[in-house]
A and B are shown apart, each in its own frame.
Chain A
Amino acid sequence: MANLIRLNAQKLWARLGRYLLSLALVVAATLLGVSVRAFISPTNLHMIYLVAVVIAAVYLGRGPSIATAVLGVLIMDFFFVPPFLTFAVAKAEDIVTLAGLLIVGIVISTLTTRVREEADAAQRRETQAIELYQFSRDLASAIGLEDILRVVVRHVSQSFGREITILLPEGSTLQPQASSPGMTLGENETALAISVYEHSQAADQAMATYPTRTLLYLPLRTGHGVVGILGVRPSDPGVPPASEQQRLLESFATQAALAIERAKLAEQARRAQMLEATEKLQAALLNSISHDLRTPLASITGSLSSLQEEAVQLDEATRRSLLENASAEAERLNHLVGNLLDMTRIEAGALKVTEELCEVQDVVGSALQQMGDRLEGRLVQADVPANLPLVPMDFVLIVHVLSNLLDNALKYSPADQPIEVCAGVTDGRLELQVADRGIGIPPEDLTRVFDKFYRVQRPNGVSGTGLGLAICKGIIEAHRGEIYAANRDGGGTVITVTLPLVQEQAA
């Protein structure tokens, strides 16, 4: 409030100053008149006063220039029109002269002031045009909603010297998304913004601005509706901005609205694209799973139905081979279903990790044992030092991880090549490695092999679901561990698992 009083006082002084200057002009004209009255005829002295009026009109504005004209006429009458040093006029023609001087003075001051105002307006329009241009240029180069909002706040508050805030719809309510530094909205102001938003959305011919005592609300309107509200804190509370300023504010608002809408549409398009990609992926996965599930089922059904056929006499060897086939395929199906259940459990966050201090040799041994007959005839070198500490882990799950890794090593390396399993402590963590001498993994796939359903494209069709490593990753991460793949010198793959040696303190 004190600020405002000071501001008004300043204005008053500035205005008073201009009138004093006009008085000074009259005094100067009079002094000049006194000094030259000996050389020129009294009638021509008018010219001096007219010059003073023109000067006042150009530099001091309308009021002071009219004051100059009136004062000039009075002073001239006083000093230069007989009888001297009185306001009385002796000759009738002098009255005409003085009246003429007054009229000409007023006309000149009016015309000159108008020209000046027009020039000023043109100048202002140019400035505004430049500001708008810069605004739209910055908006165009802004990327994303956040950037756009920042540009709007900076430009509007600079151009108008006001505090502003932008409110955007969020769910069923309106939230301030960006504001000038230090600007906050009261509860009432936010509520008012919401009602303005609702009203301007509902009404076809809604107002362009909604001025209130403390805040001016501008609906950010585009062809498709209202995207938000721009709140401007007026410099004079209670005084609506001049119509010209308001129009400019509206053009800023329109620009801002378009930019915000553009950003939102872009965001929507991006989301739609992502959704489409996800759907495509899911369809592909479903295809792949249903293929993986149906293939073993088909072989089992086929084998069993062949055995069932009474008309055909199968020899013992054929019967046995059909049975073995059905049995192996059933095992494969079991493995697949197990994997799918594991993956579902991991993704649903339902994986229960019961960490207990475990003996690493026992873990590795159990994994090897779980592989059972499948390791038959295969050289497996297990290097697990006897002096390793007990490590906290879920025994069953880590055995599961190791047997998955062994299974991969078995599948993706030639039968005459050894598989190595080793364990050790590195950098305060347990390190478990399963290494083979297979064909390795293309470098660009080293991290992607841990993605769900990701399979390295192989020419020779090794069956697999693309779930094994994803499950391993899920289990290891639930242990706060790491798992990564690398290619070995001399060919082959090595998968490394690291686990913390210390159990996490219960939170």
Chain B
Amino acid sequence: MSNVSTRVLVVDDEAPIRKFLRAALTAHGYEVLEARNGQEALSAVTAQRPDLLILDLGLPDMEGLEVTRRLREWSNIPIIILSVREGEADKVATLDAGADDYVTKPFGVGELLARMRVAMRRTVPADEPAFTTGELQVDLASRIVTVAGQEVQLTPTEYDLLRALVMHAGKVMTHRQLLRQVWGVAYEQETHILRVNISNLRRKIEADPTRPRYIRTEPGVGYRLRTDL
């Protein structure tokens, strides 16, 4: 993996989870720090300056949401949250508060590593004007979108939507984040506008809109532009 070992702070009150993450992440060349609750996490971020945070949402002393909010007041550290299947609302709130991505328990290490890579990349400035995933190519400079070399005509809104996804490629974007970026703060709650536009966009760039390849739906959370193609 990377030559300079990345320091990951694992925040979870469950010892078995910490133990398994330590083993798996160390094996992949990460340096692992541990915290058992929100307070420990906050002081560890200050004292030890980790490069990435893996944060369980259900901590004994404070909600993961609260930890995220407090960190985001002064830190840009990538945060990946661990959630359970039923916790969509908490998950979305924490993502909206500034967490970068999430994995749902139980999860495989492969999935977590992929999320971590994307989250880390966010901090690297993307200076490439053209984005490519699979056969989809988006030229941000000339605003030209092609699929398998064929140019696709998008409406300005569809393009803005695709651009927002490209800017955060590989990372989940919540409904609210997309609505705010493309339509503005006033439209934050108008999820159906987003759904219609995603549907239109898919019809133009996906071969089969019912089995989308590029724009993946994260049920109850938002959308993700896949980069692993």
Contact = CB atoms under 8 A, between A and B. Distances in A.
Interface in B174-229: 191-192, 195-196, 198-199, 202-203, 208-212, 216-217, 219-220
Given A341-B86, A369-B217, A357 B211 contact: no
6 contacts: A358-B192, A361-B202, A361-B210, A362-B198, A395-B220, A399-B219
A362 B195 contact: yes
Contacts of A364: 210
A359 B86 contact: no
Contacts of A365: 209-212, 217
Interface residues of B, number: 21
B95 to A, nearest CB: 15
A399 B106 CA distance: 19
Contacts of B106: 330, 334
A62 to B, nearest CB: 93
A370 B192 contact: no
Contact of B195 (A330, A341, A369, A390): A390
Contacts of B216: 369
Contacts of B202: 361
A386 B217 CA distance: 17
A56 B210 CA distance: 108
Identify the 6 closest CB pairs spanning chains A and B, nearest first: A357-B192, A396-B220, A382-B210, A366-B217, A359-B195, A396-B219
A368 B210 contact: yes
A384 interface: yes
Interface of B: 85-86, 88, 106, 191-192, 195-196, 198-199, 202-203, 208-212, 216-217, 219-220
Contact of B198 (A330, A359, A368): A359
Contacts of B192: 356-358, 390
Nearest to A386: B203
Given A362-B195, A362-B217, A396-B88, A386 B211 contact: no
B196 A359 contact: yes
Contact of A384 (B195, B196, B210, B219): B210
Contacts of A100: none
A386 B201 CA distance: 12
A374 to B, nearest CB: 14
A399 B85 CA distance: 13
Most buried by B among A359, A390, A421: A359
Given A330-B106, A338-B85, A396-B88, A362 B199 contact: yes
B195 A358 contact: yes
Q: Is the interface of A mostly helix, strand, loop or mixed?
A: helix
Contacts of A396: 88, 219-220
A361 B88 contact: no
Contacts of A382: 208, 210-211
Contacts of B219: 366, 370, 395-396, 399
Nearest to A375: B211
Contacts of B196: 359, 390
A449 to B, nearest CB: 25
Contacts of A358: 192, 195
Contacts of A390: 192, 195-196
Given A368-B211, A369-B217, A359 B199 contact: yes
A434 to B, nearest CB: 13
Interface string A374-386: 0000000010101
Contacts of B86: 341, 345
A368 B219 CA distance: 12
Contacts of B211: 365, 368-369, 382
Contacts of A421: 210
A499 B88 CA distance: 23
Contacts of B203: 386
Contacts of B195: 357-359, 362, 390
Interface in A335-352: 338, 341, 345
Contacts of B198: 359, 362
A490 B42 CA distance: 63
